[in-house]
Amino acid sequence: MRSFSKKFILLAVLFLLFFVINIAAGPGLGAANTAGAEIAGDIIFKIRLPRALTAVIAGGTFALCGAVFQSLFRNPIASPFTLGTAGGASFGVTVFISFFSISSFLGTFLTSFAAFLGALLSVTIVYFASSGKRSFNTNSMILTGVVINFFFSGLILLVQYLTDQTSVVRITRWTMGSIDLISLNALLFITAVFVSGSVLLYYFRNDLNLLSIGDEISVSRGVDINGTRKMLFIISSVMISSVVSVTGPIGFIGIIAPHIASSFFGRNYRRLLPASLLTGSIILLICDAISRTILYPVELPVGIITAIAGALFFSVVLTKQ
């Protein structure tokens, strides 16, 4: 227990450190300090702080739901995007930008709303197509999610082929994933979903431990397997859909963070859930800081950085194994 406390305190310290580094990283802050404290304050509190908070919420959500899906499907490479969430959200945005494009704040809000509806549509199709009335078939759900992802990818390419070049650029830019230009209302929305969803998921921590071992043991300990899996699936899907609707698909964090957290904190979900949450937040804070500085003055979408980092991470893991 003492070892866990020390590790968790260290993780929390790292989280605070990289949170501060994320706010300080990037161009503009030094010049603003020279120009005046008011300008520097505006940059910090109106741009950098909301962006860092978005990274915390988004990274934590991806990691937390990734840990849940890995228990739910007993699959170490299950991720929040396994069930076609990214494909559905991207399709919703593609259709909206191509046929209902609106500028200004209303257009930004409706784009996020279209992504949210597309993500929910995807997970709903996966759920009803793969699960019977009395059972929750995890293997069938994963396969259905793969098929739905390919299906939406094909529709996205079709719509892009039929639309104009400007819309294609906007669609491509959104699908790269980014946490810049997030409105305060969007941040409040994903924060509310994140907090309520995290509390609900942690309530099922003991059930997640049993589900990760096997159905027989879960039933013998009194776990309602189908009911619990359905509830966990719904909560996680709503959390992921809300974040993706704002940030776009930012991949690999939902796979990387639970693996890193479990190597230090074990597979007990009482510890793994909060550890994964902080680890995912730290990863996205680091990747966002890199995206702002690596090609200065050009700013890369953070989804590019997480994709490269995820590929390198799995290359190292596979090489060691």
Q: Which of 26, 3, 66 is nearest to 232 (CA)?
A: 66
Residue 292: CATH number of its domain: 1.10.3470.10
Identify the segments of the chain with pLDDT beneath 70.
Answer: 1-3, 26-38, 40, 101-107, 131-136, 215, 321
Beta-bridge mates of residue 295? 298
C-alpha span between 44 and 141 (Å, rounded): 43
86 touches 244 (CB < 8 A):
yes
Total domains in the fold of the chain: 1
pLDDT the model gives residue 134: 57
Rounded to 10 deg, the angle between the 104-130 and 184-203 helix axes is: 20
**pLDDT for residue 25:** 81
pLDDT at 28: 60
pLDDT of residue 204: 92
What pLDDT, in 10s, does the model give residues 66-113?
999 988 888 887 887 888 888 899 999 999 888 876 655 566 778 888
> CB of 100 within 8 A of CB of 214?
no
pLDDT of residue 244: 92
- Residue 31 vs residues 48, 238, 249: alpha-carbon distances, Å: 15, 41, 33
What pLDDT shows up at residue 195?
A: 96
pLDDT at 133: 54
Contacts of 189 (CB under 8 A, 6+ apart): 242, 246
Cα 150 from Cα 186, distance rounded (Å): 29
**Tally of CB atoms within 10 A around 98:** 18
CA distance 41 to 49: 10
Beta bridge partners, 298, equal 295
Give the model confidence (pLDDT) of 188-213 as tens digits: 999 999 999 999 999 999 988 888 88
Specify the pLDDT at position 154. 93
* pLDDT computed for residue 76 by the predictor: 80
Alpha helices in 181-248 (DSSP H): 184-203, 205-213, 215-220, 225-247
pLDDT at res. 243? 93
Structure confidence at residue 146 (pLDDT): 86
Angle at 134 between CA 234 and CA 240, to 5 degrees: 10
Encoded amino acid at 208, one letter: L
Could you tell me what percent of the chain has a pLDDT over 70? 89
Q: Which domain holds residue 45?
A: 2-320
